[in-house]
């Protein structure tokens, strides 16, 4: 009798792979004004001393749950509380400076220090300091492309970023735009800008023979900024500074020399203050060649309307640190323009 045929075994259904969730955002998930309540409560209820995470919740007047744990994480990222040991938190000296100021400037300085400590928020601040924030579309693109903020978190990050900068008085309204104030000279950790420039220079692969052409008026006082500000900034970025009057006007037709200087340059800097017609003309040539240009002005009125979608550095000569700030900012923006030329090249509106 033939052996009974065995029925084929049914294959067990494949288990669906669990969906991978993206990494948790690095930035604080709350604005600084919200999480200040944690160190305030620890000071009020526990003299600022350490307590367990769970003990801190009733101090604040909330339940100890997932959302509160995220809030604790945000306060830590702002440097308002720290962990003396696992599972415990205590208020920091920075929080004490904000909550119990000994000087009229302590609170605002403390809020600004906390802002500069926060991951991502600090990076975006450093990038746009001294500039107007771009329009929403361009800002969103920068957040996802340059700062790697997940697309589905852009709206949340923007809300937290704007609210935090307003609390720290780091935003000012200028003709309907939001200007990011530059306080990095006073509050940023020493060497922050130098380290940023080194990293950006490495990414841009600049060579000491690469030239940066400076478009600016020749007459003082602005003309004197070439030596004191722009040449120094360009050398800081690792490049060679070139200006028409001093460097390439020796022979030949003036316009030919300007054309060659602009054409040979890897990047340009344009000083727009006082609406100098020669500056505008040379800037037009640079834009016609699709060259990246770093725009600089002491005021917004001197920036043509059709250039305001491009990043512009604004400086204030009444600030005692304006020269040092401008040198570092121009150096950073030169390298940024090389790494991301789309943010520094003029694109006319489609017909």
- CATH of residue 142's domain is 1.10.10
Last residue of a domain, one of 118, 150, 184: 184
Residue 249 has pLDDT above 70, yes or no: no
With respect to residue 11, please indicate whether it lies within any of the assigned structural domains: no
Tokens at 16, concatenated: 């669906």
- CATH of residue 285's domain is 3.40.50.2300
With respect to residue 349, please indicate whether it lies within any of the assigned structural domains: no
Q: Which helix (H) or strand (E) segment is 212 a member of? A: strand 211-215
Query: How many domains is the chain built from?
Result: 3
Last residue of a domain, one of 99, 119, 154: 99
Query: What is d(CA 46, CA 55) in angstroms, rounded to the nearest whole number?
Result: 10
Mean pLDDT of 268-290: 94
pLDDT of residue 17: 47
Cβ atoms of 293 and 283 within 8 Å: the answer is yes
pTM of the model: 0.83
Q: Which helix (H) or strand (E) segment is 238 a member of? A: none
Tokens at 351, concatenated: 């017909």
Residue 114 has pLDDT above 70, yes or no: yes
Render pLDDT for 221-238 as a digit per residue (tens, 0 to 9). 999 999 999 999 999 999
Helix (H, G, I), strand (E, B) or coil at 63: coil
Cβ atoms of 278 and 217 within 8 Å: the answer is yes
DSSP for 179-235 reads: EEP--HHHHSPTTHHHHHHHHHHHHHT--TT-EEEEE---STTGGGHIIIIIHHHHH
Q: Point out the least confidently predicted range of 167-171, 308-312, 344-348.
A: 344-348
Residue 7 has pLDDT above 80, yes or no: no
Residue 39 has pLDDT above 70, yes or no: yes
The reply to whether 320 and 250 lie within a common domain is: yes
The reply to whether 163 and 226 lie within a common domain is: no
Helix, strand, coil percentages, rounded to 5, for the chain: 50, 10, 40
The reply to whether 81 and 118 lie within a common domain is: no
With respect to residue 89, please indicate whether it lies within any of the assigned structural domains: yes
pLDDT of residue 85: 97
The reply to whether 47 and 119 lie within a common domain is: no
Tokens at 246, concatenated: 């001093």
Query: What is d(CA 51, CA 39) in angstroms, rounded to the nearest whole number?
Result: 11
pLDDT of residue 351: 43
Spatial CB neighbours of 132, under 8 Å, sequence gap ≥ 6: 174, 177, 178, 179, 180, 300, 308, 312, 314
CA torsion 286→287→288→291, rounded to 10°?
60
Q: Point out the least confidently predicted range of 60-74, 141-155, 251-265, 298-312.
A: 251-265
Render pLDDT for 191-215 as a digit per residue (tens, 0 to 9). 566 777 888 878 788 888 999 999 9
Query: What is d(CA 97, CA 187) in angstroms, rounded to the nearest whole number?
Result: 14
Domain limits for position 283: 205-343
The reply to whether 333 and 213 lie within a common domain is: yes
Cβ atoms of 48 and 180 within 8 Å: the answer is no
Render pLDDT for 283-299 as a digit per residue (tens, 0 to 9). 999 999 999 999 999 99
Q: How confident is the model at residue 269 (pLDDT cuts 50, 70, 90)?
A: very high
pLDDT of residue 2: 46
Last residue of a domain, one of 99, 129, 152: 99
With respect to residue 49, please indicate whether it lies within any of the assigned structural domains: yes
Helix (H, G, I), strand (E, B) or coil at 348: coil
Residue 185 has pLDDT above 60, yes or no: yes
């Amino acid at each position: 009798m033939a052996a009974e045929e065995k029925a084929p075994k049914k294959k067990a259904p494949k288990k669906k792979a669990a969906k991978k969730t993206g990494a948790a955002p690095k930035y604080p998930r709350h604005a600084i004004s919200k999480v200040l309540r944690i160190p305030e409560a620890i000071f009020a209820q526990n003299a600022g001393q350490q307590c367990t995470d769970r003990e801190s919740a009733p101090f604040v007047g909330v339940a100890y749950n997932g959302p509160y744990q995220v809030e604790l994480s945000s306060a830590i990222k702002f440097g308002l509380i720290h962990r003396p040991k696992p599972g415990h938190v205590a208020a920091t000296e920075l929080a004490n400076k904000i909550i119990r100021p000994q000087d009229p400037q302590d609170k605002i300085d403390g809020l600004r220090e906390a802002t500069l400590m926060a991951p991502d928020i600090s990076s975006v601040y450093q990038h746009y300091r001294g500039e107007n924030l771009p329009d929403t579309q361009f800002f969103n693109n920068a957040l996802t492309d340059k700062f790697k903020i997940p697309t589905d978190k852009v709206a949340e990050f923007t809300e937290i970023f704007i609210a935090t900068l307003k609390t720290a008085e780091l935003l000012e309204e200028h003709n309907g735009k939001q200007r990011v104030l530059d306080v990095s000279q006073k509050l940023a950790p020493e060497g922050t800008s130098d380290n940023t420039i080194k990293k950006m220079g490495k990414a841009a692969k600049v060579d000491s023979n690469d030239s940066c052409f400076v478009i600016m008026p020749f007459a003082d006082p602005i003309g004197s900024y070439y030596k004191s500000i722009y040449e120094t900034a360009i050398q800081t970025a690792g490049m060679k500074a070139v200006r028409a009057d001093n460097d390439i006007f020796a022979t030949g037709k003036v316009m030919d020399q300007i054309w060659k200087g602009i054409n040979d340059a890897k990047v340009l800097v344009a000083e727009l203050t006082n609406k100098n017609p020669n500056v505008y003309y040379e800037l037009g040539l640079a834009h016609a060649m699709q060259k990246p240009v770093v725009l600089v002005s002491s005021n917004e009125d001197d920036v043509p309307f059709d250039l305001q979608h491009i990043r512009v550095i604004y400086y204030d000569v009444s600030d005692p640190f304006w020269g040092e700030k401008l040198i570092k900012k121009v150096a950073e923006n030169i390298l940024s323009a090389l790494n991301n030329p789309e943010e520094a090249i003029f694109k006319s509106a489609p017909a």
